[in-house]
Structure 1
Amino acid sequence: MNDIVLRRAADADAYPAADVWFRSFTAALPSVRCAHSPDDIRDWFARVLVPQYETWVAVRDGQILGLLVLNGPELKQLYLEPESRGRGLGDRLMALAKKQRPDGLSLWTFQVNAAARRFYERHGFRETERTDGSRNDEKEPDVRYIWQPAR
């Protein structure tokens, strides 16, 4: 994983990053209906996430293997290519998120996403709220996590 570079996303990264997002979502959440088509997701990355939010990509040999999106104190997205999971890349992206937001982070994930919940809890996030999912596009019950640095 040392040959992977973490850098801010450029406009040209939007579609490849969106494709990573879609493959990761599909692999990690087979029971959750994706509310948007791959083309809609690419458009969202190109129009919103990359130009308007703090979007980072993990790149090796020109291929995007992971992405991190921050919006203020919120960690909006953290997704990896399915074959890149379990190799420390998520840990590197989380360390970057904490470095960029040293005063704390919040995030939402689906309640059914046990692997993501374990990952966030391992990184010091604590559950603060659960909802029935009525506020997210997938209508899937979710959970809010908050990380506060040790003082």
Structure 2
Amino acid sequence: MNPDSEVVVTIRRATGPDARPAADVWLRSFAAALPTVVSPRSADDVRDYFRDVVVPLREIWVADAGDGDGGGIVGLMVINGDLLSQLYLDPDWRGRGLGDRFVGLAKERSPEGLQLWTFQVNKPAHRFYERHGFVAVEFTDGSTNEEREPDVRYVWEPKS
């Protein structure tokens, strides 16, 4: 998929056939955005997790730049109540407003507020979330996440 061509990107709930392409976006995005962070899961483990857990059991939204068959997945967002647990974009699709659309949707889905975690080394993510009104409220040494990487918790609260 050529991100430079005029393509309509639809954000929609994921279905079973989206699991593999969504996992592949996650893998490409993680590798590009976090080259110094070692994932404790193999690519096959990530794909299995998306197929068996994320798509069937979580609220996952995908950005689909294809014909709806799952082959055009270029981004994903997973939310669980007030937790925005994942937001990943294909590296070639960054800077095109998809992250903004996902965050807007997350705020609609959880209008009372949101929280999320991101790694401390991911400075572009910090800038992105802060631009969307999130505030850093907690920093950890990473001892409680599976990557063992220092992270930061961000919170967004709607203006009253």
Fold similarity call, TM over 0.5: yes
Match of 1:136 in 2: 145
| Match of residue 109, structure 2, among 100, 104, 109 | 100
Is 1:6 aligned to residue 11 of structure 2? yes
Find the counterpart in structure 1 of residue 53 from structure 2.
Answer: 48
Q: Which amino acid aligns with 1:122?
A: R
In 1, Cα distance between the equivalents of 2:40 and 2:128?
24
- Which residue number corresponds to residue 111 of structure 1? 120
**Structure 1 residues 55-97: Cα deviation after superposition (integer angstroms, max 9, x where no partner):** 0000012400100000111001000000100111110111111
Q: Which runs of 5+ in 1 are unaligned?
A: none
Gaps (5+ residues) in structure 2?
A: 1-5
Match among 59, 63, 66 for residue 64 of structure 2: 59
Corresponding residue of 2:89: 80
Offset at 1:138? 0.6
Check the 8 A contact 2:78/2:87 in 1, yes or no.
yes
* 2:23 aligned to which of 18, 21, 31: 18
SS at match of 2:77: strand
Aligned mates of 1:2, 1:103 — CA distance in 2 = 33
> What is the count of residue pairs matched by the alignment?
151
Q: Are residues 1:28 and 2:33 paired?
A: yes
Q: 2:52 & 2:156 partners in 1: Cα distance? A: 29
AA matched with 1:150: K
SS at match of 1:58: strand
Letter in 2 for 1:47: D
Displacement, 1:26? 0.1
**CA RMSD after TM alignment:** 1.1
